[in-house]
Amino acid sequence: MRKSKIFFVQPDPSSSNPRKSKFNLGYIQSGFYLNLFKCLVFLIMAIGASSNLYGQIPSAIVEFEGKTGILIPRVTTAERDAIVDPKDGQLIYNMTDDRFYYFSDITDTWRRVSIDGDTPPGSTGTGEIPHQPSLGADWNVRGNEGADVFSSDPPLLGNTDYKPIVFITDDLERLRITEDGIVKIAGDLEVGEDLTVKQNVFLNTEGGSTSINGPTTVGGPAMNPATFTGPVQMDKTLNVDGATTLNNTLDVDGVTTLNNDLFVTGMSSTQLTGTLDVDKTLNVDGATTLQSNLDVNNMAPTHLTGTLDVDKTLNVDGATTLQSNLDVNNMAPTHLTGTLDVDKAFTVGTGSTAMLKFDPAKNLTSEDAFANYPLQITGAKQGMAIEVNAWQPDRNFIAFFSKGKDGTGAVEMRGRIEPNNNFLVNDFQMLAENLADPDMASESPDGSVQADDDTTFNAQAGVDANSMTMLPASGQTYSEINGEQLAEFIVLCVELIGAAITLGTSFTSIFDPLDIFEAALALAISAANLGMYIGFTLANLGIAYESGSGDYAEWLPRADTTEILHFGDVVGVIGGEVSKEYILADKFMVVSAAPAVLGNMPQTRHESKFEKIAFMGQVPVKVRGTVHIGDYILPSSDGDGLAIAVHPDKMKVKDFQRIVGIAWEDSKKENEKDLYQMINTAVGINQNDLARVIDQMQLVMNQMQEAIKEVNPAYEGFVFDTDSGVNGVNLSPDFTVSASHRSKIEEYFADKTYETQEELGQLVLDALVDVAGVNLTEIPVLENMLTNPEYAQKAQDYYAQKLVEYKNWMEQLKRNN
């Protein structure tokens, strides 16, 4: 039987042409079920066209019945592509790849009907829109091989319109893909392998919890940080390899172990409500605020390299070691209830407000016990040194005040610290020694002197030329020197220089041994005063006395304001004025060294016109010769400020009204060769009251002897020297004078002869040694000047030059004052 084409037609009600039109199955969206349906329809039609095995089925449009199948048009790929104007749903069999294809108007391509499960690989990615699948992209009814390997033509499962896709089991919705691509899963989701999420993940939005059983890495690059908006609970270890930034509170209920550094930056606070245990170093770069105690236990040291500010109490139970300064500012008090031990210098404050104040409650009155004194200094071989910066002589090194009975007000009481050491630097002691050194006394034009043995001595020997000259330059000051002591020192030097000039003038111009002797003795006394001042006042070279601040003194006016007076000088008082040149005076008193109480204080600018005179108590007095306790201390009557000691059994009547005081110590045998010694003397005991009575008795006896002499001119009576005197009677002084008194020196020189100036000088030297007891070894300039007239002239010129220099320095001190 010949084969022929069969057309299946159906009237088309919408067509105006009554002729037959092609069979139209209508538009059905392409897909897996559509392809299956098409195959079934053509199969039925083929079977129905050949035979009717089961009878006609009224409900079907076309019925195929038979046992041989239906043959679809078979073409090659080229023939398929050559079909003109294919219609949607048109079916062919491609003999090139042995596959069924249908034409789709949606994609305007031939789509393969997948059956055998050899679907080609698909796209390299998902979610790429728009996506138009190619010919072999439909899902295989038997499943697809290589579906997990994506290429440019992936297998597709779904729809092509804006509708959701729903997956159900047990007639219940389990998974929904919305028309926007959102995947919603009604039940649990179990992922057997890796889960990669490129965007945000929201967990437990309506409840529940998230459990992570394995290692978890949170975060990525710096631009993709992990953010937790709610609490994060971790039952086990949290390992963080990178940096951790906390913008809010970190609450840790258990133990926290940090194996590396902990940095809290951004000026953020770190609050620890419990104990902070640090096994090793705790480094804090910024400010640290502790609201409670800071305990450092186990005797462990605490090292602070910067400032420690404590607003309130700092309690330290153990020893505290400060390697640097301890500053207590804002005028805040520092209270120490225990002992303060300071190994080195202790400096209190700077500037004009610095003050060290002791105000203890100790009120023990016994002055014999060391422990009863509030300020105690023990140890070492020295006591206490005070250095002040003022040059003015009206400044005190130390002042004493006593409160009134009611505890208010104050009475100034002056005293001194014994021994007082090194008020002047050693250079000035060397200067004083140079003034009494014969090698310093005469300068040749080349700056040297020529001694008797033709040995050359430098005029600046013993003085470093690089460090200083004989006198400091104008404007130069020495902080070690107090102005009052320096002025006293210069005055003594000027006195010595003047005495040396006077001696040189007397010895080279006149031949009166008495005048030369008095000039030489004045030089010896000046040298002794300077040495005593340096030894006692400045250097404390073993010379001291124990009566410090032991007298009551008053300021009395000087008879001669240019006269040089020093403590220990004996002065006469006439009309309330004092002078050591008053040989016959109303009373003889002593210049006080350190009065305990000083009255009649003048204004400061007038102090130079007054002198402190001891009225009562114990004072040091310059005494010549041997002294025993209980000796009366009398003026030397030489007008040199020195005193002599007279045993009570050897006192003359006129001596009693000239008594200065009573010696309360013996002179020292080792110092007997000194011109004088400082002797502790009690003054003001009214020991002169008997003198007037005795003087009146002697006056009566003189008058009686005068009457007897008138009756018997041959009568040789003894006339007493009284203040009233006797007319016509030549009386010699009847009071004790020193061995160097002019009357005794006149007797000494009365039978002495000399031929040359050198012999005269030797005669005076002998008198100085034999009569005045001068130790020439301590004043070698005397021997050189009196044995060498040429040397004396050079010495006079040298001292004249030094006198100008010292007076200039004195003027500088006055300007500083």
* pLDDT at 415 (0 to 100): 38
Q: What pLDDT does 684 receive? A: 83
Q: How confident is the model at residue 77 (pLDDT cuts 50, 70, 90)?
A: very high
Looking at residues 77-87, what average pLDDT do you find?
A: 92
Angle between helical axes of 513-532 and 757-770 (0-180°, round to 10): 50
Residue 749 confidence (pLDDT) above 90: no
Q: Select from 111, 63, 103, 67 the least CA-distant residue to 86.
A: 103
CA separation for the pair 416, 411 (Å, rounded): 17
- Do 424 and 489 touch, CB atoms closer than 8 A? yes
| CA nearest to 735, candidates 637, 588, 648, 642 | 637
Distances (CA, A) of 750 to 513, 520, 758: 10, 19, 19
76, 92 contact by CB (below 8 A): no
- Asked which of 646-660, 728-742, 796-810 is least confident by mean pLDDT, the reply is 728-742
Q: 529 to each of 351, 475, 670, 677, how far by Cα in Å?
A: 38, 28, 18, 10
Burial class (CB in 10 A: 0-12, 13-18, 19+), 793: middle
Residue range 425-438: mean pLDDT, rounded: 50
Mean pLDDT, range 589-600, rounded to an integer: 85
Between CA 695 and CA 703 the distance in angstroms is: 12
Q: What are 26's strand-pairing partners?
A: none
Beta pairing, strands 597-599 & 551-557: parallel
Q: What's the pLDDT score for residue 477?
A: 34
Tell me what percent of the residues of the chain surpass a pLDDT of 70: 63
Average pLDDT, the chain: 70
Integer angstrom CA distances of residue 249 from 186, 252, 254, 441, 768: 36, 10, 15, 92, 102
Residue 398 has a pLDDT of 65
Question: Please, what are the domains in the chain?
Answer: 32-157 (no CATH), 158-186 (no CATH), 426-539+787-816 (no CATH), 551-697 (2.40.300.10)
In the prediction, which pLDDT does 499 show? 78
The predicted-structure confidence for 40-70, as pLDDT tens digits, reads as follows 666 555 554 444 555 666 777 777 777 888 8
DSSP tag of 121: P
pLDDT band at 146 (very low <50, low <70, confident <90, very high): low
Name the nearest CA neighbour of 511 among 786, 766, 800.
786
311 — pLDDT class (breaks 50, 70, 90): confident
CB 565 within 8 A of CB 573: no
What is the pLDDT confidence band of residue 413, given thresholds at 50, 70 and 90? very low
Q: Which of 158-172, 248-262, 535-549 has the lowest mean pLDDT?
A: 535-549
How far, in Å, CA of 631 to CA of 628, rounded?
Answer: 6
Lowest mean pLDDT among 397-406, 449-458, 759-768, 804-813: 449-458
- Mean pLDDT of the 543-572 span: 78
DSSP per residue, 424-445:
S-HHHHHHHHHHT-HHHH---T
pLDDT tens figures, 469-502: 233 333 333 333 455 666 677 777 777 777 777 7
Q: Pick the residue with more confidence: 403 or 504? A: 504
